[in-house]
Amino acid sequence: MINGTNSNGTERQPIIELSGVRKVYGSGTAAMEALRGVDLRIYPGEFVAVMGPSGSGKSTCMNIVGCLDTPTSGAYRFCGVEVGDLTRNQRALLRRHYLGFVFQGYNLLNRTSALENIELPLIYRGVTVRSRHQQARQAMEVVGLTGWQHHTPGELSGGQQQRVAIARAIVTQPLVLLADEPTGNLDSARSIEIMELLTSLNENQGITIVMVTHEPDMAEYATRTVHFKDGLISTDHSHKENA
């Protein structure tokens, strides 16, 4: 539903809105324009796959959406709030409370148990020990890892490690999950398992997902695909009907 219209004809408000976003690195003759005026709206409950060749601007766009970078010009609004007006600390709070991140390389602490890895975002929030244990165990149950809480990453398969990373991303109950090549290090069978898990989180828990991938078969799990080329969106289409 790219136009953001509900089934009853009323207009929904985007959770993520980029308007004329440009990003320039360097200056003078060395300047490189990574984004050249991107307009993008993502609505609550969507599962959006972001694709494009290396250097197309997709990673730069994701960094801006994740509040890891700021536009050179243009506007980024999250839930209607102009992110450009926020201080660095306020952007950090937005990331901490509303966004979850999943990476290709898992980014787990190797000598720390699965449960402790999942608890990390809750520690930063100041959640009590008892409460964060409970929330982390619930997240492990959601991703299908009940009983594995005391295992370190080295004792888990790649698919299990990515499940831990996903549990860590959702333990804070984010509005948006940003996934950067989440199946890039996995074989076909494990990739399918991870994509089915992400689809379940999207459909059953209502988490909005924005996923960068170079694999068309993984993008097919999404409800919408956005292609980047030369710093602009070249195509944007839905290929499943949103629930």
Lookup: tokens for 16: 């993520």
Contact 18, 74 (CB under 8 A): yes
Q: Which two tokens stand for residue 174?
A: 């984010």
CA distance 159 to 165: 10
Its sign, for the CA torsion 97, 42, 143, 102, is negative
Q: What is the pLDDT of residue 207?
A: 96
pLDDT at 29: 87
Q: Give the H or E element holding residue 6.
A: none
Distance CA 153, CA 164 (A): 9
Per-residue pLDDT, 124: 86
d(CA 17, CA 109): 33
- Closest to 15 in 3D by CA, of 83, 71, 73, 61: 83
- Which two tokens mark 151? 């295992």
Inside any domain, residue 6:
no
31: in domain: no
Q: Please give the structure tokens belonging to residue 26.
A: 């360097």
Residue 32 lies inside a defined structural domain of this protein? no
Q: For residue 111, what is the domain's CATH number?
A: 3.40.50.300
Q: What is the pLDDT along the chain (243 residues), one digit of tens a residue?
A: 355 555 555 578 999 999 999 999 998 889 999 999 999 999 999 999 999 999 999 999 999 999 999 999 999 999 999 999 999 999 999 999 999 999 988 899 999 999 999 999 999 888 999 999 999 999 999 999 999 999 999 999 999 999 999 999 999 999 999 999 999 999 999 999 999 999 999 999 999 999 999 999 999 999 999 999 999 999 999 976 544
Q: Give the chain's domain count.
A: 1
- For residue 220, give its domain range: 44-68+89-238
**Residue 57, Ramachandran bin (φ over 0: left; ψ between -120 and 50: alpha; else beta):** left
d(CA 23, CA 143): 36
> Is 201 among the domain residues?
yes
Q: What is the pTM of this model?
A: 0.91
